[in-house]
Amino acid sequence: MNLETIGLTKNIILISLSVSLLILGFNLSTSLLVLYLGQLGLDAFMVGLVVTIARFAFALSTLPSGVIADKFGHKLPIVWSFALSSISLFLMFLVSNCTIFSVLVVLLWIGTAIYGPSVSSYISKVSLKGKVALAFGWYYAFVTISQVIGQSLSGVMAQSFGYRSLFIVGSILSFFSLFLITFILKNSNNYTKSNLIFFTLDDFKKGIDFFIKNSSVRKLSIALSFHTIGFLTSYTFIPLVASLDQNFDDATIGLLLAIWSVGNAIFQIPFGKISDKVGGKIILLLHVFFSSLVWWVYPFISSLPLAVLVMIVQGIVGAMDMPARRLIMQDVSEENFATAVGVLDSFTTLTGSIGPLISGVLWNYGHWVPFVFGSAINFVSFLLLLF
């Protein structure tokens, strides 16, 4: 069968496999991270604070990375990203001090931030004409399958070998992805050591200028920032609710998160095809609307079958997001696609980073409160996208 008939190319497959290895290591290591942070002695508020700082750092790293990709090529930020992720995970395996470990969590999130705009830009450029959203559907399907595997194994490995085993295995997978990516992507010749030293602050400024001048990117970023706040307010403490209120063990929690990702993986490609046909905005609107309903329901569930059902639905709803979002961004700014993606991801993650902190504050008012609050905030995003 000709791969092009289904929207695939060799380049898309190779980049997807490389990123999937990195994401496999990341999800294996972080799916139950909030439980491990609690084991290190942090309360719910401090866990939320650590995740908030990590998300904040993720956002700040994403902003210049898109500009760097447009300026210096795809390979440089991707290699940096993979290297920092693998080193951070290795050090997380070695240390047990909660302060140092928390710093490494932040570095890990920075590492997973830098590659995003570059990979999105690369996929946009190597995609077949008229099949951009489908290409992103394939990419996110590959990545989500790796999430499924990582989440499924995380609980089993944590119960059998302890949480620290997750970090060393994650580090090995990340190092392997770094090895692969150095051969897959070609070097860019438009930079030197001297001009790499001083680009970061300038690229921050260019990213901010792009946000101010491009009204379409600005409006979309503001709307999706409420979606991200709602998501992170609800999502962050799913493992805690599952453990404390639903009485699921680590293996079951990992399996639930994996079921979420299975639905996400299966429906990425169909929603990519649909987005190419009907446009990204209507699919994104449906994603945001149904997300609120699912998040609202989850904390009130007490049985495993219902929890599985909700996770399946959430996976399907989640699959609507990224192919549609990336298609919208290409329509908005095809020439500076990586910059546009970097600005969007940076702004939404920066504002959304308060979500875990909100969860930590609201947790003591009732374990259901962060989920209901997140759902309400998310509905603001729907209204902004609608108008």
pLDDT digits (tens, 9 = 90+) for 334-384: 667 777 887 888 888 888 888 888 998 899 899 999 999 999 999 999 999
Cα dist from 124 to 56, 94, 128, 158, whole Å: 26, 39, 9, 38
Which of the 8 DSSP states describes residue 298? G
pLDDT digit string, tens, across residues 182-191: 888 776 545 4
Instruction: State how many domains the chain has.
Output: 1
- On whether residue 189 sits in a domain, the answer given is no
The verdict on residue 59 lying in a domain is yes
Residue 249 forms part of a structural domain: yes
User: Which one has a higher pLDDT value, 21 or 250?
Assistant: 21
- Would 198 be classed as within a structural domain? no
Q: Is residue 201 part of a domain?
A: no
Q: How many CB atoms lie within 10 A of CB 125?
A: 13
Residue-number span of the structural domain to which 341 is assigned: 10-184+213-386
Domain membership of residue 255 (yes or no) is: yes
pTM over 0.75: no
Q: What is the CATH number of the domain that holds 226?
A: 1.20.1250.20
Dump pLDDT digits (tens) for 183-212: 887 765 454 444 544 455 566 677 778 888
**Is residue 190 one of the residues assigned to a domain?**
no
Q: Which residues contact 8 (CB under 8 A, 6 or more apart)?
A: 135, 138
Q: Where are the alpha helices (DSSP H) in 73-192?
A: 75-94, 98-126, 132-161, 164-184
